[in-house]
Amino acid sequence: MCQGDIKDILAISRPPIIKIFQMLRIICLKNFNKDSVRLGGSGMVVEIDESLFVKIEHNKGKDLQRERVWVFGLYERETGRCLFFVFDKRDSVNLLNIIYKFISPNTTIHSDCWSAYNRIKLLDRNFRHLTVNHDLHFVDPKTRCHTNSIESIWRKTKQYLKKNNGKNLNYLQAYLDEFSWRHNQSLSRFGTFSSILDTISRVVPADPHHEFKFYSDINADSNDCECEDDDDNEPEAIEPLDDELVEQEKSLDLNFDVTYMSDLDLNKFHQTVEVIIGHIKSGLYNSFRFLSVLSSEQRMKVYELCDSNGISYEKSGTRYKVINIFKNLEKSANDDGVNAILKSMSNMELSRASNVEKVISNDDGTKEKKKRGRPRKNIFD
């Protein structure tokens, strides 16, 4: 069930729903334990490939302001398990370290003809490396090497990220790890819920000394109830519910007229923002978020009032602006522990293997690079 469905069913706002989703994601990623996962093995095939997750069409438009993000993927063909890694620099150092750590020895690796993969055979893991030239064919006619499986996984991954109108790139690694957690266990929509409950029971165990007692009859005799916390005080008797009062409460209809901040005129909007800033300065709450429905004049008013009152603010989004205001940068960073945990999970540091460093340092780059494309025909033959 998506966040929009939950919002409509429970009639609550999105922020608490997002917070609960983030907490559940953290629990699942702790149980996933990505560092202990190893793909491949003797007689098994692992396909590797990299993909760009932020593309710029025609080299113009608002997407030029977006940061390009490269993701490296591993796919185990026999079991369908996969792993993804977000990295800043697309070079052989990062890719070879990922391959060295997360792929088991004696594995057959299938990839394209990118030159950074040429050093895979030099690693001390006894890898068998096969390549396919995509300029000529999708499946190599001699070795039957292909990367069609991981190309299919790229499509599923990007569809998963787009179903909620995209994801925050700061947490991209966490979202990709969640997809791997779901995909590696072949979880369906209902199986995911059961797996989350099972994960919570193992990651957050209950207190073994706590006893739960359930009473089905709300009008039962109070002497049948046992209070373990206080033996000296007798429990109070539970009065039966009045059926007439219950029916009156059910029929009670409450209607509230709420005006959105974006619908206020500029003077009332100015007064409202001043009240919000006053609450932040007094410590009533640490931050406030203005959604993208504000007009340009209202956004300028927010910036003006924040500057005059010493309140910091952050702008996000290129087309639809979202404004977060807060008292200072330290409180903004420490305000949300859930976001901090997700960011730490997304900013994973990969250890450097000594053998990889040795292979890169010994490679002088004098090897002849394979030419791309079809070989030229000899017109004189």
* CB-based contact 289:261 (threshold 8 Å): no
Asked if the structure places residue 265 within a domain, the reply is yes
Taking residues 147-157, report their average pLDDT: 92
Do both 266 and 177 map to the same domain? Answer: no
Do both 128 and 47 map to the same domain? Answer: yes
Taking residues 32-60, report their average pLDDT: 84
Do both 52 and 147 map to the same domain? Answer: yes
Q: What is the pTM of this model?
A: 0.63
Asked if the structure places residue 219 within a domain, the reply is no
Asked if the structure places residue 174 within a domain, the reply is yes
Alpha-carbon distance of 120 to 139, in angstroms, equals: 20
Domain termination residue (choose one: 327, 343, 369): 327
Which pLDDT tens digit goes with each residue over 73-121?
999 999 999 999 998 788 888 899 999 999 999 999 999 998 889 899 9
Do both 193 and 270 map to the same domain? Answer: no
Domain termination residue (choose one: 183, 203, 223): 203
Measuring CA to CA, how many Å separate 57 from each of 63, 169, 267, 317, 351?
8, 19, 42, 18, 35
Do both 8 and 104 map to the same domain? Answer: yes
CB atoms inside a 10 Å sphere around CB 178 = 20
- Average pLDDT, whole number, for the chain? 77
Do both 271 and 184 map to the same domain? Answer: no
Domain termination residue (choose one: 308, 327, 346): 327
Do both 94 and 169 map to the same domain? Answer: yes
Asked if the structure places residue 230 within a domain, the reply is no
Q: What domain count does the chain have?
A: 2
CATH of the domain at 312: 3.30.1370.50
Among candidate residues 154, 157, 78, 169, the one with its CA nearest the CA of residue 112: 154
Do both 79 and 153 map to the same domain? Answer: yes
Do both 24 and 157 map to the same domain? Answer: yes
pLDDT at position 323 is: 86
Range of the domain at 29: 3-203
Do both 40 and 120 map to the same domain? Answer: yes
Which pLDDT tens digit goes with each residue over 209-267?
555 454 444 444 444 444 444 445 555 555 565 566 556 555 555 555 667 888 889 99
Do both 197 and 265 map to the same domain? Answer: no
pLDDT at position 76 is: 96
Asked if the structure places residue 300 within a domain, the reply is yes
Asked if the structure places residue 306 within a domain, the reply is yes
Do both 146 and 63 map to the same domain? Answer: yes
Alpha-carbon distance of 167 to 178, in angstroms, equals: 13
Taking residues 144-167, report their average pLDDT: 86
Asked if the structure places residue 190 within a domain, the reply is yes
* Least confident interval from 108-117, 130-139, 178-187, 308-317: 308-317
Asked if the structure places residue 276 within a domain, the reply is yes
63 or 159: which carries more pLDDT confidence?
A: 159
Local structure of 322: helix, strand or coil? strand
Percentage of the chain surpassing pLDDT 90? 25
CATH of the domain at 162: 3.30.420.10
| Helix then strand then coil, % of the chain, to nearest 5 | 45, 10, 45
